[in-house]
Copies of this chain bind each other. A is one copy, B any other.
Amino acid sequence: MVQTPNKQLTHLKNIPNGYPVVGEHIDVKESTIDLEAPLEEGAILLKIHIISADPFMRSPMKGNDSGSFFPPYLIGQPVYGVTVSSVVKSNNAKFNKDDLVVGITNIEEYTVIGPSNPFFNWLEIRNETKTSGLPLSYAVSVLGMPGQTAYHGLLQVGKPKEGETLYVSAASGAVGQLVGQIGKQRGLKVVGSAGSDEKVAYLKEIGFDEAFNYKKTSSITNTLKELCPNGIDIYFDNVGGEHLEAAIENANRFARFPLCGMVSTYNTKEAVGIRNLMSLMPKHITLEGFGVSDYFQFNDQFTEEVTGWLKEGKIQYRETIAGSIDEAAQAVVDIFHGKNFGKQSIYVSDPSF
């Protein structure tokens, strides 16, 4: 029984409120794994290549699963998240050695996952990624879960019509930068907000009609009034709170608000209330919460269309990729402070093919 070193991103302590801190709530710990151990019926052994740092990971840090898709992280155990990996060994007819796999797994260098894991059925074999000529990391970013979220949320929930005005918050992030660019492909006027001047400059560069640094405006409502003189038809909400109230103030009649996330509230001690829902009635605004998995039936259409745009250079996509699993805890924690520029991922290892 040979033990191989196996670093894990480990949950140290639940956080009911406030920001997660490296070393206190989450950290990378040394562990080992026996790569020769026999696999249970249906299980596979994966070698992880890329880890995705995602805002949803704040939710299972709370130690309870109320109001969330996600079961809590267990203290002292590796956390789970979205990864790109390849199959080292398989005891499952569906998976072959060297298959490229994308989905939710434990975050560690090597991991075993089998049918008893609630996320097992979500694992996708993405072998086309080996030969697509596109970066492997795209499988968890523009061509993965954040990309699907942008595409399904804007198209299925937002139901855009050419010429309408779209506002998207956290617009330079993993989801937001694609939302805005899909909006442009569909003939919308696109306005975005982000938390630094560099991010705002990037938004202009990739074709947003207007963009602003929300940290430098005294009133998001007034800024939106200026930048959206015809009002907002679609607000793609990544942030909640003040951004959502300001978008309601500026919404047109029959506006659609795909509610994707509310990252401004994930680490606050007091739940922030939205005070202007009264405007939903005279304006006939629709707020629709959604999860990316509600629309997996449209994933093939998504992959085809977005891959096409990437290859034709019609859209761009910015990622920040940390250089090793040792940086995983910091990378996750940093997204809640907006330190990521574009999609934040972590490189772990190269595939063997």
Contacts and interface: CB of A to CB of B under 8 A. Distances in A.
B291 A278 contact: no
A259 B261 CA distance: 21
For the complex of A and B, 7 pairs with smallest distance between CB atoms? A273-B273, A280-B289, A271-B275, A281-B289, A287-B287, A273-B275, A286-B288
A51 interface: no
Contacts of A159: none
Contact of A281 (B275, B276, B281, B291): B291
Nearest to A253: B294
Contacts of A272: 273, 275
Interface of A: 67-69, 240, 244, 259-262, 265, 271-291, 294
Contact of A284 (B283, B286, B291): B291
- A69, A276, A279, A288 interface centre (most CB from chain B within 10 Å): A288
Contacts of A281: 259-262, 289-291
Contacts of A283: 67, 289
A349 to B, nearest CB: 33
A214 to B, nearest CB: 19
A298 to B, nearest CB: 15
Contacts of A286: 286-289
A66 to B, nearest CB: 9
A193 B225 CA distance: 39
